Structure 1
Amino acid sequence: MTGPVPADDVADAFVAQRGRLVAVAYRMLGSRADAEDAVQEAWLRLSRQDVASIDNLPGWLTTVVGRVCIDMLRSRRTRPEAPYDDRLPDMVVTEDTDAAPEDDALLADSVGLALLVVLDTLKPAERLAFVLHDTFGVPFEEIGQILGRSADATKMLASRARQKVRGTHRTTDDRQQQRAVVDAFIAAARSGDFEALLRVLDPDVTWRAHTARGVVVRLGATEVAAKARHGMRAKVTGHRVLVNGEPGIIAWGPTGRPYSVMACTVVGGRIVEMLSVSDPDRLAALDLPPCPE
């Protein structure tokens, strides 16, 4: 959409762009609530703007949302509400059915937790350049205008971010392979088969657990297997689900209340990274599938 938008059509034009703007903001901020706030701020600014002066509404809105996100990211770093390691990207938890992920609008907009965690390590300008260019195809000239930098400088930011992402984010197996590995992990933990657990865990696996007492990090297959086997002894029921579009695990306690949610990153037929939430307050904030009968 190029050229000025008639004042009477501004609301409809904004609604048409809203889904894309929320997706941009979500990848920038890792929080759907924060993304909605950023897009709402863009609408407020648009409502105060002389729309006749806007030649390219999608580009104008992307610029505004990008700048709002940059400000929010910088504010996080200067006045973090929680310790850096305690921040957790949004979890979208759904039943793992045969339906394609794109059949669920909410899931289609989600991003794998492993990638969101990596993106959170980037500097705000790097993250914006990477997300807008590599994910949404925004030209470097336009991104440079958001950041107040030249196109060449912006291209360098995106390149640096790309290298960091590639250096820490490993390509996962396809969906069926991931499902098989997660199922094997659940079965081994349920039966208490320590050797079977070791077979599906990468020797250098990392388990970052967000508990009511804070973040607990476990390193190595031996330590993770021991804890997983112990967890199943607590009479929890494990069930495979999709966490941000990738196979994960939800566990319910004996009373049917959620005990934990875990996202698993599977590479080369083994689990290389696990991120779980057992903090009751965090679990209560998630929209979780019901416990199967």
Structure 2
Amino acid sequence: MTTQKALAEEFEGNRQRLLAMATRVLGSSSDAQDVVQEAWLRLVRQEPGSIENLAGWLTTAVGRLCIDVLRSRTAKGEVSYEEQFQAPVVLLDDDPEDLAVQADRVGLALLVVLRSLRPDERLAFVLHDMFAVPFTEIAAVIEKSPDAAKMMASRARRKVQGAASPAHTHREKGRVVDAFLAAARHGDFDALLEILDPDLTWELHGQNRMVSRGRKDLLRALTHGPTSDVIARRVVVNGQPGILAWSPEGTPVALMACTVNDGRVTKIASLTDRSRLDRIDLPAPVASDGMVAGPDA
């Protein structure tokens, strides 16, 4: 690597691998692109000839940058905009036993659990189990010993393998979402107050942005918006309870991922952008209770 051109060519040869790795770790293609670009900027500042193994150096640089991004999200209590609805798997919520089998087949456990892992655990798991990076190299990235890196990946793997919720837990959360749907259909304000947590977060994901609102805004939309023309039913979104709503013509108008804790809905993430909904493999509409889908973000 004696010239800038040669360095750029070798970097380009690693770009797709780095992007794939960063996207898996971060759950966001845009964040991954930013990380890989930053790795390039750091690379060109290195002394010529100072890097013996460019691929290894880039893996380390991108890995550490990913950890920085994940730690920043954790500190701010954020979830990547793309991660919530990146290639979501949506299933009709019928028998929990069957859903557990389907969830295992499509890898829903991985989608759900990765967000709960510590940044170094997440990186160690992705690098080793998805990209076959040796623990000696992972250790250099996370600045731990190879044995510690192996333990982190193993711990993350156990969390992923044990991610599926028991059937009874799934049923309990499903009943909460069903009660939410029924209360919304009837405009039952008191029931909605009981079901929706006072500190509920309502995220509206539009085409290019996310707007965060609270319970008051959701209640206003549910109790003052039209409910009779919209068909909605409970579904499973990435292994968690959710709601899918269709227009009378059968066109999907909203997909909602619900977080249920202690018998109350604590968070709803809504996707209402029609172009993004069209790109998702969604179940066909079925007769169910109507409710408002919420305004576009």
TM over 0.5: yes
> What do the CA deviations read for 1:114-163 (whole angstroms, capped 9, x no partner)?
655566xx75x563136679x99x9x9557446273328956x969xx9x
Find the partner of 1:267 among 238, 248, 261: 261
Check conservation: 2:27, 2:80, Cα contact below 8 A. no
Find the partner of 1:285 among 263, 276, 279: 279
Q: Normalising by structure 1, report the TM-score.
A: 0.58
Q: Find the counterpart in structure 1 of residue 91 from structure 2.
A: 94
- For 1:273 and 1:281, how far apart are their aligned partners in 2? 24
Check conservation: 1:29, 1:69, Cα contact below 8 A. no
Q: Find the counterpart in structure 2 of residue 129 from structure 1.
A: 124
The RMSD of aligned alpha carbons is 4.7
Alignment of 1:152-163 (within 5 A): none
> What do the CA deviations read for 1:68-127 (whole angstroms, capped 9, x no partner)?
9956975x96xxxxxx864234211011121433422675402487655566xx75x563
Check conservation: 1:85, 1:215, Cα contact below 8 A. no
- For 2:110 and 2:184, how far apart are their aligned partners in 1? 24
Q: Secondary structure at the match of 1:188?
A: helix
Tell whether 2:251 aligns with 1:254: no
Find the partner of 2:193 among 177, 185, 198: 198
| Residues 212/67 of structure 1: CA separation in 2 closer, same or farther (3 Å cut) | same
Alignment of 1:20-59 (within 5 A): 28-30=25-27
Amino acid at match of 1:149: E
- For 1:72 and 1:257, how far apart are their aligned partners in 2? 43
Unaligned runs of 5+ in 1: 1-23, 33-62, 78-83, 163-170
Q: Normalising by structure 2, report the TM-score.
A: 0.57
Tell whether 2:240 aligns with 1:240: no
Unaligned runs of 5+ in 2: 1-20, 30-54, 70-78, 157-164, 288-297
Q: Find the counterpart in structure 2 of residue 15 from structure 1.
A: none
Q: Give the superposition deviation at 1:284.
A: 1.0
Q: Give the superposition deviation at 1:235.
A: 2.4
Amino acid at match of 1:128: L
Tell whether 2:185 aligns with 1:187: no
| Residues 271/227 of structure 1: CA separation in 2 closer, same or farther (3 Å cut) | same
Aligned length: 220
